Amino acid sequence: MVIQRVLVVFNKMKSGTVNIATQIKAKMNELEIDCQLFGYLDNPSEVVCHHPIDFVFVLGGDGTVLFSARMLYKLEVPILPINMGSIGFITEVSASEWLDAFLTYKNGQLDVSKRIMIRATVYRNGKKITDLVGLNDGVIGSSGASKIVRYQIDVNGVSLGEYRADGVILATPTGATGYSLAAGGPLIYPEAEALLVTPICPHSLTKRPIVIPGNENIRVTLDKEQRTKISLTIDGQVEYFLEPGDEVVFSKTSEKTIIVKSDKRSFYEVIRTKLGG
């Protein structure tokens, strides 16, 4: 595996990330691999990268991976997430394992996991007004005192019906372990080509989560009469305020986030550990 240029993205608020980033840069210099460091405190609008890269280290937690995936997804380069706390659902590699994982991958002995991402395109009065991308999910929900959101969902033009709920979660398989799971949605193997629709506290027992093939478009249309302010949140990190009557079309992106897998633990082992099985 030829790796000539790497980028290290690290969340400075996570303890130990600066130290590990410095270690990575020193080791890359030793291996004669060009290494750029990008540390951040808040959520910058972009990841600054001065030239093309072949590989990305991400230091932090799952939130840091979500941020990095949104910033870098168009590059489709392998990302090695390194967890700086407890093992996350995405960050399977611990801080003590980063060098072994990198060298094993470089020697062609580690597989990658290709994850679909979700795109949320907002239309107002028939006009496209914004386009947002996330690795985990897009959530339409109340941002006001009253929690009830009224909306309709259709898949490729076929109606799933009208909903009165606290909102709706449109999740990727990667995001199925997040908010969707807490709202009663199922787990999905992270490399599956599917999107998950999970109503949030629906006011009807017949409105249940549904798994949709990844190649289909899901349209959420807000009723024109609402009693609350409504927002669209991407990966729990980016918020966009909606208006009554807005339409949000969810689909998968053509690009995928490429995650380097751990050879120490599988997705099923992480699920068992995190969910207390």
From the list 62, 166, 235, 246, the catalytic residue is 62
User: What does the buried/exposed string (b/e) look like for 142-154 if buried means 16 or more CB atoms within 10 Å of the residue's CB?
Assistant: bbeeeebbbbebb
Coil, helix or strand at residue 177: helix
Q: Which residues in the chain belong to E strands, given as ranges?
A: 5-11, 34-40, 55-60, 78-83, 93-94, 112-124, 127-134, 137-142, 149-155, 158-165, 167-171, 194-200, 210-213, 218-222, 230-234, 238-242, 247-260
Cβ–Cβ < 8 Å for 137, 171:
yes
- Angle 125-143-179 from CA coordinates, rounded to 5°: 100
CA distance 175 to 182: 11
The verdict on whether 263 is a catalytic residue reads no
Q: Which residue numbers are catalytic?
A: 62
